[in-house]
Amino acid sequence: MEYPRGSVQVQDIGEQKLLQILQRFCPPEIIGDDAAVLSTEPDQSLVVTTDVLVDGVHFSEITTSPQDVGWRAAAANLSDLAAMGAFPLGITVGLALPGNVAVSWVEELYQGMTECLQQYKTPIVGGDVVRSPIITLAITAFGQVQPNYTIRRNTAKVGDAIVVTGVHGASAGGLELLLHPELGKNLSESDRIALIKAHQRPQPRLDVLPLLQNILSPHPPAGMDSSDGLADAVVQICRASGVGSVLESTQISLPTAFKHCLTKEQALKYALYGGEDFELVLCLPKEPAHVLVQQLGKGAAIVGTIIEGSTVVLRNQHEKNPDQVLTLSQGFQHFKS
Amino acid sequence: MEYPRGSVQVQDIGEQKLLQILQRFCPPEIIGDDAAVLSTEPDQSLVVTTDVLVDGVHFSEITTSPQDVGWRAAAANLSDLAAMGAFPLGITVGLALPGNVAVSWVEELYQGMTECLQQYKTPIVGGDVVRSPIITLAITAFGQVQPNYTIRRNTAKVGDAIVVTGVHGASAGGLELLLHPELGKNLSESDRIALIKAHQRPQPRLDVLPLLQNILSPHPPAGMDSSDGLADAVVQICRASGVGSVLESTQISLPTAFKHCLTKEQALKYALYGGEDFELVLCLPKEPAHVLVQQLGKGAAIVGTIIEGSTVVLRNQHEKNPDQVLTLSQGFQHFKS
C-alpha cells in the first residue's frame, strides 16, 4: 500500500501510544482492564458473531477508503446480529498491521467503524493491536435477543413466503462501478452514487427487528442475512430447514439503475450471487409476510415460497430461459477463487 | 512453512468442507446460523476479551506445534477472563490462512484449543475461516462475573499486599530451552520438561477464582494477569490505581530449575520481563493475602506492598545491586521490537 509521505507511522509511536489514540473511539468506562465488562438484560440470550477481513482479499485500497473498510466491517457484524433477531451490545476489534501503516489510516478505520456503530448506539468495547506483515481486521460483535424472537435458519415451513427486506445486487454493482467507471456512463449521477454507497456504506437491517416483533409475536420467522448473496441465503435456509423453495426471478427487487447499465440476465446474476447487500431473507406465513413487506417498503418484496422437497428452483416466468436449480456450489468458494 | 508432502491442503477442499471438519470441535446445537446463541445467568455481567496471534510474530513452527499454538491462544484468552474474576462461557475463533496450509495443521490447531478449553467446559461457539497470505488467529473469549467479584486494575489500595499465584519466568525459560537446547545441559529431564511445558501449555488461573470468593466476599482484589510479565502487571495496576509499590526481588517465586542454568540476575529478568506465565497478580489486604497464598501453595507468594506515590521500586535486599525503578518502557514495545 502507498501512504502519504511524511505521515506518522505506527512503528514511530509504538503499541501503547497507538492504543491510547484508539481509546478515544471507546467509552471511557470500559478502558484499561484485561477485558470489557458489560451489562445484559435479564431473560435475554447472548448472541455472538465474528468476522475476519484481510487486506487484498476482502478489501482493497483501490475501491475502499479506510473509513469504508471500517464501516463495512462493523455493518457486516451488526447484520449477523440482525439476522439472529438480536440487538447489538458492543463489538471488539482485533487489528493486525505492519509497522509502516500511517497512524491516520488506523484512525480513519476506527472512525468508519464508529460512524456505523453510532447509528445503533453500539460501543467498541475492547480489542487488540498487533504487528503483522498484512493488515487483518477481526471483529466480534455480541448482542442480546429474547429467546422467543431468535431468528434461525432451520425453522422455515412449507407454505412460508420468502421475504427480502430490500433490493439485491446494489453492492456488487457499486463495486463494479468503482473498478470500471466506464460501465456507469449511461447512469445519472444520483444512480451512480447510490450504487457506490450501497457498496461502501451498507446498512445492517436492525431496523427490521421491531417490526417483526409487532407482526409476529411470539413466533419469529426463519431467516438469515444475504451477505453471501440472495441465492446462498435461500439455499442455506432450505438446507437447514429440510425444505425446498421456488424463487420467482421477476419478483426479486433490483436497483433501478440496473435498467440503464445491465441486461436482465446480468442484473439477476448480481442480485443472486453479488453478495454484501446485508438485507434479511425471512421465511414466514403469507399474511404477516404481506404486512411486513408493506411496512418496510423500499424494495422489500415476497420473492418466493417454501415448498416440500430439497430443491431450490429459480423460476424464470417471463424469460426465455428455463427454470434453474440453485446450489451452494454456484456460490463463492473462497479458498478456490 | 513446510508441510508434509502429499497432505491435503485447505485449497483442495474449499471453505465449506473445512468448516464442516472444524464443526466437530463445536457443540452441535450452536452450528449453522449467522451467530451463536448462549444463555447467561441473571445478575451477572458479561466479560469480553480478544487477542490476535500472527504466524512469525506470536508463534513459530520451530518452537510451537499447531496443538500448542491452539492451547496457548485459548489459555491467553481464558487468562484474561480469570484476570477479571470471570468464568468462561465460550470463545469464537477467527482464522485467516493461506490455501496451502495442510488441513491436518488446522485440525491440530483446533485440537489444541479444545484440549485447553475442555478443562473448563468452555465451548468454541463460532468463528470465521478466511484466506490470507499469513496465518492469523483471532480469538474472542466471553465470560460472566458477579458484579461484586469483578477484579479490576484500578482498585489497589495503600497497604495492600501484592500476591502472585505462582512462579514467574518459567514460560520464557521454556522458550529459551526450545531455541537453545544446549542451555539445558545442567538440568534434569523433569526440570527441562517442566519449563518447556510451562511455555507450550500454560494454565490460566481460573482455579483461583473460587478461593477468592471464599476469602474476600464481597470485596474483590485489584489485579490482572502477568501475560506481559510480572513487572508490566505491577506497573499497570499501580498506574491505574494511582499508587506506588515496593517489590521484594527475593520474594518473587522462580522455577527451581533456574538455579541450575541461570544467574540470580538472569532469573529475575526472566521473571519480571519474560511474560506469558499467565499467573494472576492480585492486590489485597495482608490478612486475606496470607490465607490466599497458603491455600494456593505451589509458588504463590506475597511479593510486595502497595505504597503511596506513583513509583514502582524493585528492592534488591540481598543483592549487591541497588534498588531499581520499574517503568512500562522497560517492557516489550511490540511495534518497535
Please compute the mean of the pLDDT values over residues B310-329 and round it to a whole number: 79
SS (H, E, C) chain A: CCCCCCCCEHHHHHHHHHHHHHHHHCCHHHCCCCCEEEECCCCCEEEEEEEEEEECCCECCCCCCHHHHHHHHHHHHHHHHHCCCCEEEEEEEEEEECCCCEHHHHHHHHHHHHHHHHCCCCCEEEEEEEECCCCEEEEEEEEEECHHHCCEHHHCCCCCEEEECCCCCHHHHHHHHHHCHHHHCCCCHHHHHHHHHHHHCCCCCCCHHHHHHHHHCCCCCEEEECCCCHHHHHHHHHHHHCCEEEEEHHHCCCCCCHHHHCCHHHHHHHHHHCCCCCCEEEEECHHHHHHHHHHHCCCCEEEEEEECCCCEEEECCCCCCCCEEECHHHCCCCCCC
Which chain B residue has its CA at the smallest distance from A334's CA? B15
pLDDT value of residue B27 = 74
Which of the two residues, B326 and A311, has the higher pLDDT score? A311
Most B-contacting residue of A140, A227, A228, A283 (CB-CB within 10 A), to test interface:
A140
**What is the model's pLDDT at position A64?**
83
Tell me which chain A residue has its CA closest to the CA of residue B91. A48
Q: What is the mean pLDDT of residues A154-176?
A: 95
With CB atoms and an 8 Å threshold, state whether A10 touches B50: no
pLDDT of B126 over the 90 cut: no
Residues in chain B: 337
Q: Kindly indicate the confidence band of residue A232, based on its pLDDT and cuts at 50, 70 and 90.
A: very high
* Pick among A15, A34, A50, A101 to test the B interface (most B CBs inside 10 A): A34
| Annotated domain spans of chain A | 10-147, 151-330
In this prediction, residue A332 carries a pLDDT of 43
Q: Tell me the torsion sign for CA atoms B82, B83, B89, B91.
A: negative
- A269-313: pLDDT as tens digits: 999 999 999 999 999 999 999 999 999 998 999 999 999 999 999
Model pLDDT, residue B334: 47
CB-CB under 8 Å, B131 with A57: yes
Closest CB from B35, B52, B90 relative to A86: B35
Q: What is the mean pLDDT of residues A19-33?
A: 74
The minimal CB distance from A48 to the residues B10, B38, B225 is found for: B38
Q: What is the pLDDT of residue B318?
A: 61
Q: What is the pLDDT, as a whole number, of residue B134?
A: 94
- Which chain A residues have a beta carbon less than 8 Å from that of B131? 54, 57, 334-335, 337
When pLDDT is averaged across residues A150-178 and rounded to a whole number, the result is 94
B35: nearest CB among A48, A53, A337: A48
Each residue's pLDDT tens digit, A45-94? 899 999 999 998 888 877 789 999 999 999 999 999 999 999 999 999 99
ipTM: 0.86
Look at residues B210, B237, B243, B239 and name the one whose alpha carbon lies nearest to residue B222: B237
Whether B18 and A335 lie within 8 Å, measured CB to CB = yes
Q: What angle do CA A286, A290, A296 make, to 5 degrees?
A: 140
Please state, for a pLDDT cut of 90, what percent of chain A lies above it: 65
End-to-end CA distance of chain B: 22
Q: Closest partner residue to A335 among B14, B39, B333, by Cβ? A: B14
Angle at A238 between CA A237 and CA A244, to 5 degrees: 155
pLDDT at A240: 92
Across the interface, do B126 and A50 touch by the CB < 8 Å criterion?
yes
Do B34 and A49 lie within an 8 Å CB cutoff? yes
A18 pLDDT band, cuts 50/70/90, is confident
The pLDDT of residue A82 is 96
Nearest-by-Cβ selection for B152 from A33, A127, A136 = A33
Instruction: Identify which of B48, B57, B134 has the shortest CB distance to residue A92.
Output: B48
Are residues A53 and B130, on separate chains, in Cβ contact within 8 Å? Answer: yes
Tell me what the pLDDT averaged over chain A comes to.
Answer: 88
- The verdict on a CB contact (< 8 Å) between A33 and B84 is yes
Mutate to test the interface with B, among A19, A52, A93, A232 (most CBs of B within 10 A): A52
Q: How far is A195 from chain B (nearest CA, A)?
A: 25
Name the band, by pLDDT with cuts 50, 70 and 90, for residue B332: very low
Q: What is the pLDDT of residues A198-210, one digit of tens each?
A: 999 999 999 999 9
CA-nearest residue of chain B to A46? B38
Give A117-140 pLDDT, tens digit per residue: 999 999 998 888 999 999 999 999
Q: B58 to chain A nearest CA, in Å? A: 9
Are B50 and A86 an interchain contact pair (Cβ–Cβ within 8 Å)?
no
* Tens digits of residue pLDDT in B226-272: 999 999 999 999 999 999 999 999 999 999 999 988 888 899 999 99
Chain B residue with minimum CA distance to A43: B42
Question: Which among B37, B49, B79 has the least Cβ separation from residue A84?
Answer: B37
pTM comes to 0.89
How confident is the model at residue B298, as a pLDDT? 87
Asked whether the bond before A288 is cis by omega within 30 degrees of 0, the reply is no
Class of domain A151-330: alpha beta
Reported as a pLDDT band with limits 50, 70 and 90, residue B336 is very low
- Nearest-neighbour CA in chain B from A227: distance (Å): 10
Among the partner-chain residues A32, A45, A52, the one whose CB lies closest to the CB of B38 is: A45
Is the pLDDT score of B325 beyond 50? yes
Which pLDDT score is estimated for B316?
84
Q: How far is A336 from chain B (nearest CA, A)?
A: 6
The mean per-residue pLDDT over the stretch A311-334 comes to 72
Least confident interval from A149-153, A267-271, B42-46, B51-55: B42-46
* B328 with A15: Cβ contact below 8 A: no
Q: Which chain B residue's Cα is nearest to A76?
A: B34
Inspect the interface and report whether the beta carbons of A136 and B132 lie closer than 8 Å: yes
With 70 as the cut, is the pLDDT of residue A147 above it? yes
Which among B53, B92, B143 has the least Cβ separation from residue A50? B92
pLDDT by residue (tens digit) across B180-189? 988 888 899 9
pLDDT at A19 (0 to 100): 80
What pLDDT, on the 0 to 100 scale, is given for residue B108? Answer: 94
What pLDDT score was predicted for residue A31? Answer: 61
The rounded percent of chain B whose pLDDT value lies above 90 is: 65
Q: Which of A14-23, A35-44, A219-228, B319-328 has the highest mean pLDDT?
A: A219-228
Q: Do A150 and B37 touch (CB under 8 A)?
A: yes
Closest-approach residue (CA) in chain B for A45: B39
Q: Across chain B, what does the average pLDDT equal? A: 88
User: What's the CATH number of domain A10-147, 3.90.380.10, 3.30.365.10, 3.10.110.10, 3.30.1330.10?
Assistant: 3.30.1330.10
Pairwise CB contact (< 8 Å): B134 & A130: no
Q: What is the mean pLDDT of residues B193-218?
A: 89
Which chain A residues are within 8 Å of B224, Cβ to Cβ? Answer: 33-34
Q: pLDDT digit string (tens) for B47-99?
A: 999 999 999 888 887 778 999 999 999 999 999 999 999 999 999 999 999 99
> Contacts of residue B79 in chain A, CB cutoff 8 Å?
34
Which residues are CB-neighbours of B15 under 8 A, at least 6 positions away? A333, A334, A335, B129
In this prediction, residue A317 has a pLDDT band, given cuts at 50, 70 and 90, of low
